[in-house]
Structures are given as structure tokens and as C-alpha cells.
Amino acid sequence: MFTGEYHSAFKGQGMSYKEVREYQPGDDIRFIDWNVSARYAHPYSKVFEEEREQMVFLLIDNSASISFGTHLQRKKDLVTELAAVLAFSAVNNNDKVGAIMFGDKVQRFISPKKAKQHTLYIVREMLSNDAASSRTNYADAFRMFNNVCRRKSICFLISDFLGKGYEEALRVAAGKHDVIGIKIYDQLDMRLPDAGLLQVADAETGEQRWLDTSSALVRYEYEKDFHKHNDYVKEVFRRAGADLLHMRAGDDYVKVLQKFFINRSR
């Protein structure tokens, strides 16, 4: 695992105001207590202590599109592995972990706890809960997360982001919490094979159509749409002030997570 990188990446999240002391050269001027400084006509700095325990929530997309997969594993398998790794890393860091599984509505809410057995319970629930709907409702999941977590927490939203209408819910959640999106995709989401006529269906709407994959233009437009959607999701997260990672089913996700956590800790 990468518990060390995980802790370093989020070590600044939970800080409580402890006391003040005289300002010393090199202190961050943002932490000057101006009220105390004015009272004693001398600058004083706030002293903080780190709150070790944090709340980590996994918002897990369990809609129909997550069950899709063509290369080594389904997207759902990757989602489950990622959730397990993140949950165990949090528990090893003495943080509480909870989960919200959702499709067109919240399907399962698991209260945050610390024990490793609790993490195994989350994984079992993910494995036993098949997709109950085709559409994805991010707003309900974020609403429940915001209601449960009153103080700033860490939220990993794991989804393929094929659903729509999550922009405002993400913006509100990211304004209060540390939100990290993990966008899952399959290689066939990005690139079509040259396989003649294929009937495809939109996992969110159920709309079906035929594609002539032997056409280079069709394959080019398909891949262009994928990158256009990627750029859109990136922009939504950027505007919300949240981080976003991309994971392809079948790839080594551990290296991607390690790099992310190391970069955040710098």
C-alpha cells in the first residue's frame, strides 16, 4: 500500500486552534492572531495541532455502465479494487471510512468506522450489489455525503462520469470538502476496433444504434468524442477546485495513486 504517501497528502486537512505564541521570523503571516496582537501591541501567531482522525468517504458509482468491460477486468472490478486500496490506506492511517453506493438514487449507505473488518464489509457490499439502474444520480449521493459530514472531510468519487447534471453538486461539495474524482474507463470506451458493423447502446439512456467500425472516419469521430468528454470532465473539476485522476481498466492503478499522493504532499 501507500499509507505514508496517503497521510502526507492529507496531513494538512484536520487542524485545530490550540494557543498563541509570540510571532517568530519565518512564521506564516496568515496565522497571525490580529486580535491578540492588537491587545498586546506585539504580533502573535496561532499555534495549531493536527487532528489525526479524519473522515474519508467513498462515493461509488454503481450504475449499469460500470458493469462494462472488455480488457482483463470490468470497470466495476477496478472500482472495487480502488475502493479497497483507498479504504485500507485510510484505516491504516487511523481514519474513519464510509461509503455511499449510488445509481439513479442512493443504493447503499455505510457509516464511517475505523476497523479493518469494516473495510472488508465495504468491499463485500460492493461485490454483492449489482447495478440496479442505468442512470447515474450524483446529486443525491453528494447531498447525503454533505448531510453526514459536517466538518471538512475527504471524498473520493469513483465513476466513469457518463451521467450528467453533477456540476453544481460537485461545486458545492468541493467548496466544503476535499473532493478527488477518479474517472474509470475501458479501452473500448476510447477506441473502437475495426470489426465491421456493431450495434451499440448508451448505458445511461438505453438508446441503440449501429456503427460501421470498418470506417476510419467513424473510429476517428468516436475517439474524438471520448477525448472531448474527458476534457469536459476535467474542466468541471477544475472549476470546482477538485482533483481528478484517470484510470483505465487493466492498467496498474497503484502507480497512478502513488504519483498523485506524492505530488499532493509536496
What are the tens digits of pLDDT across the range 160-215? 998 888 999 999 999 999 999 999 999 999 999 999 998 888 777 778 889 899 99
Angstrom CA distances, 191 to 27, 31, 159, 187, 223, stand at 52, 51, 19, 6, 5
Return mean pLDDT, the chain.
86
Which cell numbers in the block locate residue 218? 467513424
What are the tens digits of pLDDT across the range 63-93? 888 888 787 788 999 999 999 999 999 998 8
C-alpha 16/C-alpha 48 separation (Å) is 5
pLDDT band at 264 (very low <50, low <70, confident <90, very high): confident
pLDDT at 226: 95
Residue 13 has pLDDT above 60, yes or no: no
C-alpha 255/C-alpha 262 separation (Å) is 10
Mean pLDDT calculated for residue range 124-138: 80
Domains and CATH numbers, the chain: 14-50 (no CATH), 55-265 (3.40.50.410)
C-alpha 197/C-alpha 134 separation (Å) is 24
pLDDT band at 3 (very low <50, low <70, confident <90, very high): low
Contact 59, 238 (CB under 8 A): no
Angle between helices 75-92 and 3-10 (to 10 degrees): 80
pLDDT at 79: 93
Picking from 109, 116, 108, the residue whose alpha carbon sits closest to that of residue 90 is: 116
Contacts for 37 with CB less than 8 Å, ≥ 6 apart: 23, 43, 44
Residue 263 has pLDDT above 90, yes or no: no
DSSP 28: -
